[in-house]
Chain A
Amino acid sequence: MKEYLDFEKPIVKLIEKIEEAKKKGNEDKLKRLENALIKVKKKIFEKITPWQRVLLARHPQRPYTLDYIERITDDFIELHGDRRFGDDLAIIGGIGKIDEFSCVIVGHQKGRDTKEKLRRNFGMPHPEGYRKALRIMKLAEKYNLPIISFIDTPGAFPGIGAEERGQAEAIAETIKEMSLLTVPIIVVIIGEGGSGGALAIAIGNRILMMENAIYSVISPEGCASILWRDGTKAEKAAEMLKLTALELLEFGVIDEIVKEPLGGAHQDWDESARILKEVILRNLKEVIKLSKEEILNERIEKFRRMGI
């Protein structure tokens, strides 16, 4: 059974009917249903709320980092371990080819089924995850390769081991070092941009954001429980936090919104990846023209402008 969100019910029902019509070979009905599906999707997504975006960003069927890598790259070799403690599977990193471009790719990785979710720790990294990402990004600097970073995490893991091994230090160090690299860095927020755990690998020359992704300093649930001691008021908090792509574009925190197929990225992984690849390459081609010094300065000035 495919999982879906409450507000997606009309969409899911129509898709089921379309499947049926396809089986029966009823062309007329099929066409009518397909038109209806577009209409329904449009109607739902026209007035989508920030909270619904949160749910979409966390959608169980949403493509994750490796799903995109598989579709975007012609070759990808995953590298493992931080050379200090272990290999954190909540963050992946490696080297690959996107068309003619050799590049380094890092990103948070969530798991699909229960077993995989646990293995990936729900996409919540430990310090060794950030240290692995940084180690691999330093290879990019050494080999003069651009970096693509995929952001999709509820946040850095809150646990005993994470604190013992310096979660805060790992994040701070990764941000500091990443911001001083002289190779092009393209960041894409593909799902959840959960606070410091997301930011740690999100210091780029270009910050792209998928249409239904979110990026926030705190989860709406966390915000609601602080403000009203009531995590169920997350819907209201999601509005107040201004965490959607459209709002963040207006703020200048992100540079570009990456369109998703109508109904959300989970409706069509291939199409989502195709659009994303195009946008990544266009941005990469722009940044790659700059000198190392310009690349570094552009990134520094970008983050200096954030806020006051």
Chain B
Amino acid sequence: MARDYPNGLWIKCDNCGEILYKKTIEKNFFICSKCNYHFRISHKKYIEYLLDDGKLEEYDSDLETNDPLNFPQYKEKLIQAQKTLGIKDAYVYGLGKIDNIQIVFGAMEFGFIGGSMGTVVGEKVARSFRLATQLNIPIIIVCTSGGARMQEGIFSLMQVAKTSLEVGISDRKGIPYISILTNPCYAGVMASFASLGDIIIAEPGAMLGFTGPRVIEETIKQKLPEGFQKAEFLLTHGFVDLVVPRWDLRRTLIRLLNIIWRK
């Protein structure tokens, strides 16, 4: 994560170390002007960048976990995240428009316990697909996640099933689904709806996979190849359709939607 400098005017690039003027970076979609590194941004920014007038009519914003395992220190962690981010869990969805085409739009928030998927994220993602099916409109989800919400144990694993099956059901009803993979996206989310888009877009340099690189290295006791699990790596291996820089995401979505939906 980019560390703010004390005066708040400057940001250091995590990738190339360049000190950047914050205002410039903001205008440049939080992309490093020197090395093209895409800074991690909040779900709010994606709403702003991708939707018409940056407007989302949010659904189920009050849905909260009931801490099904009564997991030690989980409640404190939740309250902290909720306070800091002003959302109840790591996924936000609702209705929005892109180029005046009505869509269901969802976005994950990595800042909320690593964008992990627990019962709330799972249920809301499932409802997103049901809403799209009900209204017969396309669905677009911006994915970022460290994986399952460990603190919700088996229930978080079950969300992998719940969300995947909803993708399947909406798919059979002919609902277009575009998933946008951003840095990072792993494990339970990657092994469910994130990987199941009709069209899968990834931001440049995003780290994407099933198992995190550190665990793989520890298991196989081997150095990982250069560029392993980056968006471009997935593109060459056939698991991503397009690698699109953030500044061009909205335009790309407009082009896609105009071809597949406004016929």
* Cβ–Cβ contact B168 & A180, under 8 A: yes
Residues of A within 8 A of B171 (CB): 176
Interface check A226, CB cutoff 8 A: yes
Which one, A9-17, A239-247, A278-286, is touching chain B?
A: A239-247
Would you call B237 an interface residue if the criterion is a C-beta within 8 Å of the partner chain's C-beta atoms? yes
Query: In the complex the two chains form, is B154's CB within 8 Å of A217's CB?
Result: yes
Q: How far is the CA of A49 from the CA of B238 in the complex (A)?
A: 45
Q: Is B72 an interface residue (CB 8 A)?
A: yes
B216: chain A residues at CB < 8 Å are: 158-160, 163
Q: Is the CB of B148 within 8 A of A203?
A: no
What residue of chain B has the Cβ atom nearest to residue A248's Cβ? B154
Compute how far the CA of A165 lies from the CA of B210 in the bound complex, rounded to whole angstroms. Answer: 11
B126's partner among A160, A218, A304 (CB-CB below 8 A) is A304
B71 engages A163 (CB within 8 Å): no
In the complex, the answer to whether B154 meets A180 with C-beta atoms within 8 Å is: no
Interface 1/0 per residue, B151-181 and A, CB below 8 Å: 0111111111110110111011000000000
Report chain B residues within 8 Å CB of A303.
158, 161-162, 165
A276 within 8 A of B: no
Which of B150, B190, B211, B224 has a CB less than 8 Å from the CB of A217? B150
Chain A residue nearest to B217 (CB atoms) is A158
The distance in angstroms between the C-alpha atoms of A168 and B219, with both chains bound, is 18
Q: Give the distance in Å from the alpha carbon of A182 to the alpha carbon of B254 in the complex.
A: 37
As a 0/1 sequence over residues 191 to 203 of chain B, the CB contacts with chain A under 8 angstroms (1 = contact) are 1111110000000
Q: Do B191 and A196 have beta carbons less than 8 Å apart?
A: yes
In the complex, how many residues of chain B place their beta carbon closer than 8 angstroms to a beta carbon of chain A?
Answer: 58
Q: How many A-B residue pairs have CB under 8 A?
A: 164
Q: Which of A181-234 contact B (CB under 8 A)?
A: 195-196, 199-200, 202-203, 215-218, 223, 226
Q: Using a Cβ–Cβ cut-off of 8 Å, how many residues does chain A contribute to the interface with B?
A: 45
A172 and B164 contact, CB distance less than 8 A: yes
Separation of A108 and B256 alpha carbons in the complex (Å): 40
With a CB–CB cut-off of 8 A, which chain A residues contact B106?
none
A218 near B148 (CB under 8 angstroms)? yes
Residues of A within 8 A of B191 (CB): 167-168, 171-172, 175, 196, 200
- Provide the residues of chain B in CB contact with A158, threshold 8 Å: 210-211, 215-216, 219-220
- Are the CB atoms of A217 and B153 closer together than 8 Å? yes
Give chain B interface residues in 195-250, CB to chain A under 8 Å.
195-196, 209-211, 215-216, 219-220, 222, 224-225, 228-229, 237-239
- CB-based contact B164/A240 at 8 Å: no
CB nearest to A171 among chain B residues: B191
Interface secondary structure of B, over-half rule: helix
Among B22-30, B42-50, B94-102, B117-125, the stretch in contact with A: B117-125
Among residues of B, the one whose C-beta sits closest to the C-beta of A124 is B219
User: Which one, B4-12, B60-68, B132-140, is touching chain A?
Assistant: B60-68
In the complex the two chains form, is B158's CB within 8 Å of A176's CB?
A: no
CB neighbours (8 Å) of A176 from chain B are: 164-165, 167-168, 171, 196
Q: Of residues 282 to 304 in A, which have CB atoms within 8 Å of B's CB atoms?
A: 300, 303-304
List chain B residues, Cβ under 8 A from A167.
191, 209-211
Contact partners of A218 in chain B: CB under 8 A: 148, 150
Q: Is B184 an interface residue (CB 8 A)?
A: no
A216 B237 Cβ-Cβ under 8 A: no
Give the chain A neighbours of B210 by CB distance below 8 A: 156, 158, 162-163, 167-168, 171, 196
With A159-B219, A175-B165, A176-B167 already in contact, the answer to whether A216 and B153 are too (CB < 8 A) is yes
Complex Cα–Cα for A242 and B237 (A):
38
**B residues 48-82 in Cβ contact with A at 8 Å:** 63, 65-66, 68-69, 71-72
When the two chains form their complex, are residues A240 and B72 in contact, meaning their CB atoms are under 8 A apart?
yes
The answer to whether A217 and B69 have CB atoms under 8 Å apart is no
CB–CB A306/B162 < 8 A: yes
Task: Check if A168 sits within 8 Å of B209, measured CB to CB.
Answer: yes
Q: Does B188 sit at the interface, judged by CB under 8 A?
A: yes
Q: Can you pick out 19 interface pairs between chain A and chain B where the beta carbons lie within 8 Å of each other? A: A156-B211, A158-B215, A158-B220, A163-B229, A164-B237, A166-B237, A168-B187, A168-B209, A172-B164, A172-B196, A176-B171, A177-B168, A202-B161, A217-B156, A251-B155, A253-B158, A300-B165, A308-B65, A308-B120
Interface contacts beyond A168-B209, A175-B160: sample of 8 additional A-B pairs, CB < 8 Å, sorted by A: A158-B216, A159-B216, A162-B211, A163-B228, A165-B237, A180-B168, A240-B72, A253-B158
Chain B residues with CB under 8 Å of chain A are: 63, 65-66, 68-69, 71-72, 118-120, 122-123, 126, 148, 150, 152-162, 164-165, 167-169, 171-172, 186-188, 190-196, 209-211, 215-216, 219-220, 222, 224-225, 228-229, 237-239
